[in-house]
A = this chain, B = another copy of it.
Amino acid sequence: MATLAADLLNGSRRALARALTVVENERPDAQALLTALYPHTGRAWVIGVTGAPGTGKSSLVSAMAAAYRKQGKTVAIVAVDPTSPFTGGAILGDRIRMRDLSGDAGVFIRSMATRGSLGGLARTTRDAVRVLDAAGFDIILMETVGAGQSEVDIARAAQTTLVVEAPGLGDDVQAIKAGILEIADVLVVNKSDRPGADNTVRALRAMLELGHPTNGGRMISHHGLMMSDDITHPSPALPVGDVWLPPVLRTIATGDSRTQNDGIVELLTQIETHRAYLLDGHRLREREHDRIEHEIRDRLAHTLMKNLLNAVSSEYYESVISQVQARTLDPHSAIQALLSAR
């Protein structure tokens, strides 16, 4: 593992690919590898890109990668795909558009598929991002499907989180994705050459203004209000005091020759603005603190549970479940019994 870590730190792409496989498969030597690499992390800017299927996330990520390359930055893309069979194909299809990127040594693309639980995927994705960070990429684009707590957890690992929308999604989509909107640093209306883009921008602004129900109005205190009513132009990010106002941007990642890549450079500028905002004062430090605490708690719960289940015989575990089912033991007493059985 020490050799693998050294080769990776020396820029070997083969070592990088092997290290990612070790981490993704949660092989026993993954911990030693991650321990060796950890001091070399913290240099990359990690950008989470999340949104529902059909918003064109993958094309947007490709366009962003190309734009970052034009700025001379190296880019790693982690496409997290918890939906193996069907969307797996879709992501592959989108990846074909990345072919022009793939000949470029400054770009590295990796798809992560779920092997077990989504919680497991969140853990291995965080580790994969660390490996890519240690490998020296300037930008790490982490693409996730915005659907559920685990994807929110994955997105939380980013320093700047983009939430991607597209015209033509129903109003109810917005309500469902409120938990995801809450984590948005930048809102992107992709496919903005399609009809209804104005409505989508308006709906997002309205939600930002309300502070959406399912986050208990917290968005207002975290992110503040969008003040602008001008929906025909991208609204700039306006840090007021200590509050970041998530800008709503329009992009066209895949358009005709005239509109192709519309808004991408502006998007990168807004991400840079967000980065400068976080780097000002203690903001990034506070955000990192929350992120690390969240990760530590998640890993602790996972490890505690694994250790307990290893310590209790499966016969005893099964007998406790049976007693609860027979109603001769209640769930609360069952927990105490299992804890005492260690």
Contacts and interface: CB of A to CB of B under 8 A. Distances in A.
A8 to B, nearest CB: 15
B330 A52 contact: no
A53 interface: yes
Task: Kindly report how many copies of this chain are found in the complex they form together.
Answer: 2
A333 interface: yes
Nearest to A86: B213
Contacts of A213: 53, 83, 85-87
Contacts of A39: 327-328, 330
B85 A216 contact: yes
24 contacts: A34-B332, A35-B333, A39-B328, A41-B327, A52-B175, A83-B178, A83-B214, A86-B210, A86-B213, A87-B213, A147-B176, A148-B149, A148-B179, A149-B150, A173-B173, A173-B176, A293-B321, A296-B334, A296-B335, A299-B332, A299-B335, A300-B308, A300-B335, A304-B304
A246 interface: no
A194 to B, nearest CB: 13
B325 A289 contact: yes
Interface stretch (A163-171, A224-232, A270-278): A163-171
Instruction: Identify the interface centre among A31, A168, A176: most chain B CB within 10 Å of its CB.
Output: A176
Interface string A263-299: 0000000000000000000000100110011011101
A184 to B, nearest CB: 16
A305 interface: yes
A320 interface: yes
A296 B212 contact: no
B147 A149 contact: no
Interface string A133-154: 0000000000001111110000
Given A83-B214, A325-B285, A330-B34, A305 B300 contact: yes
